[in-house]
Amino acid sequence: MPRFNTLYDSLNLDALRQLCVREGVSARYGRGDKFLSDGECCRRLGLIESGYFKYVVETTDGKEAISGFVFGGEFVADFSNSILDLPTQVSIVAGERCVVKEVEIDSVKELCAVNNAELERAIMHTILLLSAKPYKSESNFLNGRSWAYFLYL
């Protein structure tokens, strides 16, 4: 079966993967449990060991719509808003029982700061690719910040 999220294929996220494996805390989620709820600030990132999550947004007419999926071996987080310490506009919900190795977002930021320019570029590239995801508001996810803001975090 072909991979669903091919956007990660061209990115070297090995250092991030190693961080999750080495320092991550194992967390279990049942079907319907939320990794993150709309309006919260994402304080952790996870490497999915088993299961899958769906990204759910509320449409302007109040209905829920699925805007993405992540599966085993992939990362789960709201990358853009977690890096900016902003509340998310998406809920991340377990589609089945999941096991995730979770690390704090601050650990990810520290990893990027400690001479890992390649990882920082890969995360920024991921944010750029994911920014096309539909959110419930018309405003863009930068909330008035320029891209230059990201480059010096």
Dump the DSSP string for 9-66.
Answer: TTS--HHHHHHHHHHPEEEEE-TT-EEE-TTSB--EEEEEEESEEEEEEE-TTS-EEE
Question: What pLDDT sits at residue 55?
Answer: 92
- pLDDT tens for residues 94-103? 999 999 999 9
Question: What pLDDT sits at residue 133?
Answer: 44
Question: What pLDDT sits at residue 153?
Answer: 34
Question: What pLDDT sits at residue 18?
Answer: 93
Question: What pLDDT sits at residue 5?
Answer: 58
With a cut of 90, say whether residue 50 has pLDDT above it: yes
Using DSSP's 3-state secondary structure scheme, residue 69 falls into strand
The residue ranking higher by pLDDT, 6 or 151, is 6
Question: What pLDDT sits at residue 11?
Answer: 64
Question: What pLDDT sits at residue 14?
Answer: 84
The residue ranking higher by pLDDT, 3 or 93, is 93
With a cut of 70, say whether residue 24 has pLDDT above it: yes
- pLDDT tens for residues 61-106? 888 899 888 999 999 998 778 777 889 889 999 999 999 999 998 8
With a cut of 50, say whether residue 137 has pLDDT above it: no
